[in-house]
Amino acid sequence: MIAGFPDAQPIAGLIGGLMIGLAAAIMLLGLGRIAGVSGLAARAIGLSASGPPHGVAIAFTVGLPVGAVLVALLSDGIPATFPAPGLLIVAGLIVGFGTRLGSGCTSGHGVCGLSRLSRRSIVATALFMGSGFATVALMRLTGMI
Amino acid sequence: MMRIIIALLSGALFGGGLAISGMADPMRVRAFLDLFGAWDPTLAFVMGGAMIPMALAWMVQRRVGRPFADRAFALPDTRAIDGKLTLGAIVFGIGWGIGGLCPGPAIASLALSPAAAAPFVLAMLGGMAIHHFTIKS
C-alpha cells in the first residue's frame, strides 16, 4: 500500500510486471520475436502480412486467456469492472484500428520497445499515454465518469 | 512443435502476469489514466517490473547470434517516426482511455469475464480488419 493511494497494488503490479517482462524475454530470446499482442493477434486471425508463422501467433494469443484463467483458479478470482457494452464496442474498434496503424500497443511499443530504447516506441508510448490521459480527463470534464 | 510450445508458454505467462497485476481490470487501468480522479499508479509498477527482464533480454540479444529456437531474430527495423505511427498511437490512446482495455488484457479477459470482454475483442478485431482492408502498409 502506498500512502495517498489506497487502491494501488504496487507489489502485485511488480510481480505481474516481472512475469510479463519474462514472457516477452522468452519470446525474444526463444523465437526472436517481439511479444506485441496487437500484431500477434492480427497475425493469428490472418489480418497481418508480416510476423511469425501463424501457429506461433495463434499459440501466443491463446496462451493469454489460458494463463489468466490459471491464475484465477489458483487465487480467489480476479476482480474486474467493465464499462458499458456500448462504450466497449466503440473503444474496441478504436483500439483495433489505432494499434495496427501505429504498429503496436502497450506490449510491443510499451514493454518491448521502451526496454530496447527504440525512438519510435518511446514516441508512440508517450503519445498513447498522453492521449489516454487526455481522453479520461475529457470524460471526467463532460461527466461521462 | 518446439516453437508452438514456447509461444504458448510465453502467452500464458504474459496472461498470468496481466491477471496478477490487476491489469485485467479495466477500471484499474482507467484509474491510472485518470489524473483528475482517484489516480491509481499500479500500472506504472507493472511497466517498471516488465522493464527489468526485458532490459536484460535485450543485453543478451545483442550478444547472441540467433534465438534459442529459431534461425534468426526477426525484429522491427523501421526507424521513421511518421504520421502512421503518431496518429495510430494517439487513436489507440483514445480507445484505451474510453474502455480501460488494451489488446493483451482484453484477450486475457476472454477467460475471466467472457461476456464483458467478448464485445470489446470482436470490435477490436473489426477495427484491425478495417485497417487491414483500407490502409496500405
pLDDT (tens digit, 9 = 90+) per residue, B80-131? 999 999 999 999 999 999 999 999 999 999 999 999 999 999 999 999 999 9
Q: Chain A closest CA to B114's CA: distance in Å?
A: 10
Distance of CA A16 to the CA centre of its chain: 13
For the purposes of burial, counting CB atoms within 10 Å of the CB of B126, is it exposed (0-12), middle (13-18) or buried (19 or more)?
middle
Q: What SS3 state is found at B64?
A: coil
On chain B, the residues whose CB falls within 8 A of the CB of A34 are 75-76
On chain B, the residues whose CB falls within 8 A of the CB of A49 are 137
**Yes or no, beta carbons of B95 and A98 under 8 Å apart:** yes
**Phi, psi angle pair for B113, to nearest 5°:** -135, 65
Q: What SS3 state is found at A67?
A: helix
Helices and strands: H and E segment counts in chain B: 6, 0
Confidence check on the interface: ipTM exceeds 0.90, yes or no: yes
pLDDT at A77: 87
- pLDDT per residue rounded down to tens, chain A (145 residues): 688 888 899 999 999 999 999 999 999 999 999 999 999 999 999 999 999 999 999 999 999 999 999 999 999 889 999 999 999 999 999 999 999 999 999 999 999 999 999 999 999 999 999 999 999 999 999 999 9
Mutate to test the interface with B, among A101, A105, A117 (most CBs of B within 10 A): A101
Q: Of A8, A33, A134, which is closest to B74 when you measure between CB atoms? A: A33
The angle at the Cα of B89, spanning B36 to B99, to the nearest 5 degrees, equals: 50
On chain A, the residues whose CB falls within 8 A of the CB of B24 are 68, 78, 80
- pLDDT exceeds cutoff 70 at B23: yes
Average pLDDT over residues B70-86: 96
Going by C-beta distance under 8 Å and a sequence separation of 6 or more, which residues neighbour residue A22?
A: B13, B17, B53
Helices and strands: H and E segment counts in chain A: 6, 0
Q: Chain A closest CA to B77's CA: distance in Å?
A: 10
| A-B Cβ pairs (cutoff 8 Å, strict) | 505
pLDDT band at B47 (very low <50, low <70, confident <90, very high): very high
Half-sphere exposure of B123 (CA within 13 A, CB side): 22
Q: Which residue of B has its CA nearest to A43?
A: B128
Mutate to test the interface with A, among B23, B92, B121, B134 (most CBs of A within 10 A): B92
Q: Chain B closest CA to A122's CA: distance in Å?
A: 10
- pLDDT exceeds cutoff 90 at B32: yes
- pLDDT exceeds cutoff 80 at B137: no
Partnered with residue A5 across adjacent β-strands are A2
